[in-house]
Amino acid sequence: MAIADRMKIGVGSPHIFPDDAVDMTFAASFVRRAEELGYASLWTQERVTGSPTTLHPLSFLAWLAGQTSTARIGVSVLVLPRHNPVLLAKLAADIDVMSGGRLVLGVGLGNGTSDLPMYGVTGERRVTRFVEQVQAIRALWTQTPSGHAGTFYDLGDASIEPKPVQRPHPPIIFGANADAAIARSVRHADGWMGAGSGPLADFPRKVTLVQSHLAEAGRDPASFPISKRLYLAVDDDESRALRRLREWFGYYYGRPDNAEHAAIWGSAAKIGELLEEWAEMGVDEVLLNPVFDMEEHLERLADITGLA
């Protein structure tokens, strides 16, 4: 049985431009071909400031809604403390409407608080605020008026229109790496995605942890997808593949050494073996994220997973 018959196969969309030249003609060709090949989802990620030339995911997803028609479109993840929940709920609802009900909203707490003052907030009680933001977004998506009145946001009379197409609302998944954040995902989210920068060696333990929390909470695993962003390079010349991955991790994360822990590189057989293992573990979806030779990888990964 093909890997694509056992779990959904998504792919990272080209909205990060390491050569500093934004090429929307290439981006359009890539996402349309991905849909033709049968990829289930197209994904973005958030980077607001800094040197990487990157389109913001909400801008890109609005554009992507008009370029595609069948694949789900998602972000993994927005650092939620940076965002006002009312504005985010409105923008996300609009994208869901424009895409015909294909949005997946991924959110995360973020790795620190040093950048929050530039967004007009502090790190004080940020976990409590984070959870309330999720609650406020759901209320705005599903109720008129929202009825939400909490510690940080009093939105009782607020409402947004149009509401999202998806009912009861678009899935909100948490991108999380720490064990406490994984537990929080099961309590408050509609799914969990393993961080792309997290070590691959620890991913099986985290999948087991999610499954354990789901069982303890009495949640149906079928309604809570487990997924993972996977940085990878398909190349029989492993030293060349690792060198190019290190270059990209240095460019985007500022940590070239992290490539050796968070990515996989090598032959098609090696990549396929890892994906087979994850399917056996109960992973529902994988977000394949090549970072160079994008068109070639799109075709080869379709072959490896059985899409093509």
Q: What is the pLDDT of residues 50-80, one digit of tens each?
A: 889 999 999 999 999 999 999 999 999 999 9
Q: In the numeric block, which tokens belong to residue 114?
A: 């040093």
Phi (first) and psi of residue 200, to 5 degrees:
-65, -35
- Contacts of 15-21 with C-beta under 8 Å, sequence gap 24+, read 15/44, 15/54, 15/55, 15/57, 15/60, 16/45, 16/47, 16/52, 16/53, 16/54, 16/55, 16/252, 17/53, 17/54, 18/52, 18/53, 18/248, 18/251, 18/252, 18/291, 18/292, 19/53, 20/53, 21/53
Q: What is the pLDDT of residues 135-177, one digit of tens each?
A: 999 999 999 999 999 999 999 999 999 999 999 999 999 999 9
What is the reported pLDDT for 19?
A: 87
Q: What is the mean pLDDT of residues 236-257?
A: 96
What is the reported pLDDT for 51?
A: 85
How far is 283 from 227, CA to CA, in rounded Å? 6
Give the model's confidence band at 91: pLDDT under 50 very low, under 70 low, under 90 confident, else very high: very high
pLDDT at 125 over 90: yes
What is the percentage of the chain residues whose pLDDT exceeds 70? 100
Its pTM surpasses 0.85: yes
Q: What is the CB-side half-sphere exposure of residue 200 using CA atoms within 13 A?
A: 18
Which of 52, 31, 32 lies closest to 43 in space, CA to CA?
31
More confident residue, 12 or 50: 12
Q: What is the mean pLDDT of residues 240-257?
A: 96
What is the reported pLDDT for 46?
A: 97
CA angle (305, 77, 101) in 5-degree steps: 75
What is the reported pLDDT for 108?
A: 97
Q: What is the mean pLDDT of residues 6-22?
A: 95
Q: What is the pLDDT of residues 275-286, one digit of tens each?
A: 999 999 999 999
What is the reported pLDDT for 60?
A: 98
Check: CB of residue 210 under 8 Å from CB of residue 192.
yes
What is the reported pLDDT for 165?
A: 98
CA distances from 122 to 81, 113, 114, 163 (A): 9, 7, 9, 30
* Interaxial angle between packed helices 268-281 and 203-217, expressed in degrees from 0 to 180 and rounded to the nearest 10: 20
Q: What is the pLDDT of residues 182-203, one digit of tens each?
A: 999 999 999 999 999 999 999 9
